[in-house]
Structure 1
């Protein structure tokens, strides 16, 4: 079976740079998969997405979208891609519906052929009554939903999503998730999904590509990554809520392998050494007169694994 996206030894170095923006990336994305793309700012996510779109070409290596070079002149690969960019442009002085018509024209789609799809998408996103409004009068969340609709015009077999939930409230995010899952189920759409909401990728993606400094760090299922790299998580509750600050100070002396933070009436401890280090730290706390009410261990998350893999100092 031809991969939806195939990368082999992919390298991109921009003129004037001393290091690669993308360095020796190799991976395959199977058709119909929902894959997360996760990495700190500057990791190479945007550069990789641009190469898949055909907006920039690799310095060396191989990149194919359904077996075709995305940068080849006929645009055969580009016509099979829909993209939701983080800052997708609108003509603000045109009605929302005209912005959709312009997108359809750029994609080579006849409006009468896709009008039913447009109406269905507008209804699904609660935007049927907004099409006559000038784009600048729409809220940020409404424009974001129109961006998703634009990407879906013509049913492209590959969707590239860059922060599709940015600017949406909880209900809007769930609308997007539901629609995308329905699209994948009905049409076998392949989705490459970039998000700073790590929990969003954990909930919606079959596997996650983790990249850092342009290199592939891991490519595995979210639960596998969480179990292998997430470490342990413990919630420690003092007998007296007023002792939470003192408890934080004691548990913070567990060394650099542990990360501690204050929650609502508890101290959260994360890291590979949590189970090994915690008993001695709790004994020290009790010696200082800090009573321990409860200790609860939790299953690690993809976010915990991400911080272990790329470092807690990065914004993911």
Structure 2
């Protein structure tokens, strides 16, 4: 899954992400932009949240967990390594940390906390720290170029840039670049729930995912062999990948809907233009205001 220089410019759901009961589960990290609402609990390698993010369940992080100020977690926070909890954050259950704990002022933990390492009480999560967390995620999945672009944007605002020819800390040799599962990225101001995933940005869903909720975005690219228990709606283009099943309608105001071979839409399709593979299936009505074509070849276009 390619990422650009702004890691929060779209909803990005990596391969294999599932909704299990009330938890959103992914193999990689979870990155949530500020002022978002995630009504699920989340489970991933690491969890990073901006300011004023609300979680409706537990947080389980195999590695680090970083919550910026004014976050609200309805359940427990279980952390396999270190935790960084910003000031005025509320945790409705227990905070259990296997490593060190940095905790800000006026943090409310209803059922107490325990840390096996050092405990430091302060405000550990300024905006600059959150920015560098983004860079670490980019480097972990091998996006050195995107990380360098983001670092250059930050350094251009500082006093004095790096001298020409001096090696930057963000420079990583391609052969030694770390790799790992792509992060689940939820952009700033998003709302994610069992009813609907609402973002004002484009949205990308990888392969082999199981998603509960209607997807609402500027545009939608849904990969292969997914099960989406809800409808798709976008202002722009919508792509439904091979073998994916949509348990609802597919609707776009002005864009093109492209449906791959083996895909199935258990609802209506409404769009400007439609490209439908002859091995795809639509159980409901089809309304295309512009051109409608039945195709035998399909190439998925990924930004």
TM-score (norm 1): 0.28
Higher helix share: 1
Q: Which has the larger radius of gyration?
A: 1
- More contact order relative to length (CA 8 Å, sep ≥ 6): 1
Higher strand share: 2
TM-score (norm 2): 0.29
